[in-house]
Each structure stands twice: as C-alpha cells, then as structure tokens.
Structure 1
C-alpha cells in the first residue's frame, strides 16, 4: 500500500483563475490580450490570474526563438508546462485494466495493460493499486509528483459521491470506488463514467476543443454518449445523462439488459450484433471479430445485422441532435472497426431523423484506442486538481 501523498493546490482558487487555466490548457499558447478576449475577463483579472500560475511554474512564457526581447508589458503568449505535474488515469473494462501516466497537458508518458480475470471489486482495486504503484515509480524517474488518480468505468457513476451505482459489464452495484481506491493508493481519487471522462478529454484536448456544444457517441460493447452544453459536460441531476444506448427506437425490438425493448444498445452493441447473426445464420459466431469476418465475406445475414445497427445508431444520434442541437457529433469507440459496414446507414438514418436545419450538424468519426479512455480518466483527474467547474 502506498503512503498518502501530500496534496499540492493549484494557485487558481477563484472561478476566474480556473477559467484562465483551462482556457490556456485547451487552447494555448495564448497572449494575455487573447486570454481576456476568449474568457470575457478584464485584462487586470487575467494578469491577476496568470501571475501566481507563472510563479508556481504551471504557466511558462511561450517564447519564439526568433522573437525580439519583450519591452514593457510582457507580450509573449503563455502556455501550460505539461511536465509540471503528473496524473494517473485508469479505465476498467470487463476484461482488462488500462492505466496511463499522463502529464498536465494530458500527454501519455507511460501506459500499462493488465488482463482482468476476476471482476470482484476487491480484486479490481488490488489490480488498480498495483498499477498505480508501478506508475508512481515511473513518475519518480521524471522527478515530478503525481497529483491525482481517476478511474473510469461504464455505467451509472455518481462522480460527486465517488460511487459506482451500477455497472452492468462489471456487475457492480453501489461500490464506493473513489474512497476504496484512495485508501489503497494514497492518492486523491476521482471516479467517473468512462464516456463522460472521454468527453472531457475530447473537450480539452481533442475534436471538441473550442466548441461549446458537442456530443460524443461511442459504439462497441455498449452505446454511450457524452454531452457538452454551453461548455459544460452534462452529468445529470442523478449522474445519468446522454444515455443514447437506452433510447427505445423499436418497441417490438429485442429485449435490452435495462429491461426495455428495442433500445439502441440492444440492436447496435457488439454483443447484440453477434447474437442477431447467430440467430439468423445458425452459426456459432464467437465474437465481434468473427462477425466482422462474416460480414466482410459477403454473408447477407451478417451484413443485414450491421446495417440494422447503423440505422439504430443514426436514429439515436438524430434524437440527440434534435434535442440539444450540438455543433458536432464525434463517433468513436472500438465498434468503429466495422464502420465501413454501417456508415451509410448511420448517415441515412441521421438525415431522415434530424429535424430541419439540425441535419447540418457535423458528424465526424474518430477512432480511439482503449488507452485514450484511460487518458480520459487522467483528464478528469486534471479537472479535479484544477477545481474546474466545467463538469
């Protein structure tokens, strides 16, 4: 068991300072004038926020090699020094734990993968603690302290309470994960839903940078959706929001594990596609890889299953766009391996479902490896450290 780490506090205690920090983090380097423009703060407020962050080494001047020395008021843009602090991000899947050591700019320095054979919370926490210890040793090599750890899991996660309310893939209910992991690692710990964590990473460092309203839809083992509205990741009053996977689009459709029929997830998740192909062909399809092989080989039942999945996803995205009107929808997740088999159906179903000008919403695909989900967890650890109010 690790000894408890002394917590360092970021010198950005006010909402204005936190806003300045997150703006430079996601959009920097930025001049102080540009910072004032983007945050809507006065130049005096920006200067007041920047100075302590510079003094503590979190901000550095982004000096151009060719730039002449500044005279009078500093004109050089400021950027975040990524190497100033380190964070651990952990993604728990049904059969693997992925851990990354990331810097303050959420750049992955080290990554580790460990197979998960037992899903019992005690065993998973022991695995997390072992990975954290390994990454703390790696951090010593950088000579930089780890300021926090975050764990991302699928399902209903109450981040404020640090509790996993229900995770179907792990079969967990009401696990006080933040408290248990913190006790095991000695690190300040944040727990969040995996899609929401990935949404934070996309908002600050990915395809959502600079966009106040976007959605992230993930396809694969489940169908998830993270939402950013007016610059904030939507968590929902009860920790549940954006559950596109549990939109019922066919009342006569297959039974979902949530108890309803015809949910997007019951039609379009990896396991739903495999099940439909098994039923239609009578073949013992082992999993998503074999299902893909059948479909790409021209098997009509397999191709139909993927087409139906694409239609379900497209209708789900159309519903989200009609409700919230995001500028962009990012489609990601391990299920993108099959994108060529259902891209057309996603687009067609979205187009027919979206109301009027909502159809102008920008749909993009962004394949992300599982390490990016762990990076998403690291982003939530950074968010907690900053005390950001964008969640």
Structure 2
C-alpha cells in the first residue's frame, strides 16, 4: 500500500549525454574545480565542458563561485564550479535481518536525516511495509528541507541484480527472486535502485569517500559476513553473474571449519562474527556466546578467546592479499561493524597480508574506515544518486 504524505516530485537529470554526465560526476566527486581543470580530468575540450555545464547551471545543479584566493589578484578572477548539494534529496534504506535503517541525503550524499525501524518479520511483504513506513517518515522530513526527493536506493545483502532490481538470493532474509525495485517503486512512488549492500557502500566510497578520484580500489567489510566491493578502471564490478568480490568464500585453510556455503576454511567461516562466536564457545566451553560476548571475553583475556581473533585476522589478511594479487588496487578500505574488534586482529591482518601479497602488491594502501550502519544506508542513497545522474548504470 502506498503511504500517505508528501508526494515525490518526478524530475529527470537535465543532460542526456555521457560526456555531460561525466563532467557532472567529476565535479560532484572531486570538486569544486575550475572549468579548465574539469576539461583536463575528463579529457574534453574547454568548449565541450562549457557546453555541458551550461544546462546544469541553468537547472540549479551546478553553481559557479569566484575562488577566494583569486580575489585580490589582478586580472580575471578564477571561477570554480561546484554542485549545489541542496538542489535535490535522495533516500537510502539498508535492510538487515532485524531492522531497516533509512537516511535522507542531499545531492552530495551528506546525511540530513536518519531513521531506524525494527523489522519483526523478514517476509517480503512485511519488509516492503517497513520500507514504505520509513520512506514516508523521510519524505515528511524532506518538507522542511525545501528540496525534491528524486530517488530511493535500497541495499540488501546477498546476490542482487541491480539492472533488473531483483534480489536473487539473500541468505539473511531467506529471499529468492524478489523483484524488489518494482515492488518498492509501486509502494513508495519513487524511482528505486536496488543493489547489494557491499557494492552500495563501495559506490559511496567511490563517489564521496576514501575512494574518490581512484581508478582501482576495493572495499572489504567485516562483520556478520565478509564482503568485498571492487572498483576496476573506475567502475564498480558486479561480474557476469553478479557475485564478483566474494572474498568471504575464498578458501584460506582447506582443513578449516565448514562454511555455510558447503566448503571448508572460507574467510567467512573463520572470521565472520557467528564463526568467531562459535569458535570461542568451543575454545572456552561457555555456551551461547554471541558477537558482543565474544568481544568482551577476548578483551578480558579469557584463555583461548584472543587466539580466535588472531586467526580471524590472519584469514582476513590472506583474503585481502588475494584481492591485491589479482587486481593490484591502489587502496583497500576495511569497514563494517566487525571493526569494533579491530584492536584484537589488526596486527594479524597486516602480518598475513604482507606475507601473502606478491611483490609490489604489498605496497597497496590498506586503510580502516569504521562506519555506523547509517553509512550503509548512505551507500544505498549513493546508488540512487548514481542512477539519477548516469542513466547507463
């Protein structure tokens, strides 16, 4: 059922050429920039950039400012082109096994409003109802921001076909072949982009975070699962079957514990939160250990607990080295809720990565980015912004 409340505004991006979208994307992710610098970065002539910029300025998506440092100088002042973040708003929703998290961002993907809603039922109909309620609240909040909401992104774990907007398989939700984009569009009245949650987070890092301006990088997430988003030659890679970057199911110890995928010794079977809790339970004899209790036990020095985290760090480090050896990214960004335990396995991640990375792959810049769950919803909003700007994605 469509929620009552503010009506989303139908609006399309005022350019329809790849060159114009590239110019806008460059200013959005790397600006403010002078027009000549935009031309240099996108490989177009200054005249072509001026042609691309004009309708965007007229529509209010871009503005031009005089650079402060050029004001006192003699001659013609330099003008910088930047995106007006307040020109439009986008909603993003991250669906977890127990709640839905929603954010409202501006065009520069800065979070303006955040909401959480418990998810009592994981059936598609119940999840859609929760998404509709959350979006209704976000649309109501948008009234005070005086800008149209032009899209909704939804991030779900598992095998997601973004082009079709279908969740093929989500183990945490126990979904198969759910046409989520179509259903959510009908429910909310907004254009909807649905993507895998790790890829959505990768889009946010590529356009608005630690990957901005980089051609090749990876995002590795640690937590309930071990995920990986890949950017190769400036594009987020999904692969022919939509599962590119599944380092959680790279085998790092053939004699290791059995994974839910059926194999043994996968990174996720050793370093996922449930796997860590189970191994600590086995090592200590304490029953019903959860992720929070496992972390407390390790920090309190319970015999056997810290060793489990050390092994998890080694598995993650080997998984990251596999990515570095195969793709040679400039940077690997480690994120996810599992970073709460980073002090327990950081040195083991680094040691295993250095030992397993081949040659110059070991020079890859490995960074950590602890992010709250709102950032996963922000990633969903980033996919909606991307879809709005680039109709070919």
TM-score, normalised via structure 2 length:
0.96
| Match in the other structure for 2:244 | 241
| Match in the other structure for 1:287 | 290
How many residue pairs align between the two structures?
390
The change in CA–CA distance for 1:70 and 1:190 in structure 2 (over 3 A counts) is: farther
Q: Kindly state the Cα deviation for residue 285 of structure 1 after the two structures are TM-superposed.
A: 4.2
Spell out, residue by residue over 1:58-101, the C-alpha distance to the aligned partner (whole angstroms, 9 max, x if none).
00013346754999988411100000000000001111110000
Q: Is the counterpart of residue 269 in structure 1 residue 272 in structure 2?
A: yes
Q: Is the counterpart of residue 160 in structure 1 residue 163 in structure 2?
A: yes
| Match in the other structure for 1:115 | 118
Please give the alpha-carbon distance, in whole angstroms, between the structure 1 residues aligned to 2:333 and 2:377.
18
Q: Kindly state the Cα deviation for residue 105 of structure 1 after the two structures are TM-superposed.
A: 0.2
| Match in the other structure for 2:82 | 79
Please give the alpha-carbon distance, in whole angstroms, between the structure 2 residues aligned to 1:364 and 1:64.
32
Which of 303, 307, 323 does residue 304 from structure 1 map onto? 307
**Secondary structure, counterpart of 2:304 in structure 1:** helix
Which of 26, 35, 43 does residue 40 from structure 1 map onto? 43
Please give the alpha-carbon distance, in whole angstroms, between the structure 1 residues aligned to 2:384 and 2:75.
38
| Match in the other structure for 2:203 | 200
Please give the alpha-carbon distance, in whole angstroms, between the structure 2 residues aligned to 1:160 and 1:188.
13
8 Å contact 2:218–2:333 — kept in the other structure? Answer: yes
Please give the alpha-carbon distance, in whole angstroms, between the structure 2 residues aligned to 1:171 and 1:42.
51
Q: Which moved more, 1:10-19 or 1:267-276?
A: 10-19
Which of 181, 189, 202 does residue 178 from structure 1 map onto? 181
Unaligned runs of 5+ in 1: none
8 Å contact 1:22–1:388 — kept in the other structure? Answer: no
| Match in the other structure for 2:376 | 373
**Secondary structure, counterpart of 1:97 in structure 2:** strand
Counterparts of 1:111-150 in structure 2, within 5 Å, are 111-150=114-153
Which of 192, 205, 209 does residue 189 from structure 1 map onto? 192
8 Å contact 2:70–2:78 — kept in the other structure? Answer: no
Q: Is the counterpart of residue 324 in structure 1 residue 333 in structure 2?
A: no
CA-based RMSD of the aligned residues comes to 1.7
TM-score, normalised via structure 1 length:
0.96
Please give the alpha-carbon distance, in whole angstroms, between the structure 2 residues aligned to 1:218 and 1:308.
17
Please give the alpha-carbon distance, in whole angstroms, between the structure 1 residues aligned to 2:153 and 2:72.
41
| Match in the other structure for 1:384 | 387
**Secondary structure, counterpart of 2:33 in structure 1:** coil
Q: Which moved more, 1:299-308 or 1:328-337?
A: 299-308
Q: Is the counterpart of residue 344 in structure 1 residue 347 in structure 2?
A: yes
Q: Kindly state the Cα deviation for residue 289 of structure 1 after the two structures are TM-superposed.
A: 1.2
Q: Kindly state the Cα deviation for residue 256 of structure 1 after the two structures are TM-superposed.
A: 1.2
The change in CA–CA distance for 1:340 and 1:112 in structure 2 (over 3 A counts) is: same
The change in CA–CA distance for 1:66 and 1:279 in structure 2 (over 3 A counts) is: closer
8 Å contact 2:3–2:133 — kept in the other structure? Answer: no
8 Å contact 2:70–2:77 — kept in the other structure? Answer: no
| Match in the other structure for 1:22 | 25
| Match in the other structure for 1:357 | 360
Please give the alpha-carbon distance, in whole angstroms, between the structure 2 residues aligned to 1:259 and 1:177.
28
8 Å contact 2:94–2:156 — kept in the other structure? Answer: yes
The change in CA–CA distance for 1:70 and 1:106 in structure 2 (over 3 A counts) is: farther
The change in CA–CA distance for 1:194 and 1:17 in structure 2 (over 3 A counts) is: same
8 Å contact 1:19–1:388 — kept in the other structure? Answer: no
8 Å contact 1:89–1:378 — kept in the other structure? Answer: yes
The change in CA–CA distance for 1:7 and 1:303 in structure 2 (over 3 A counts) is: same
| Match in the other structure for 2:222 | 219
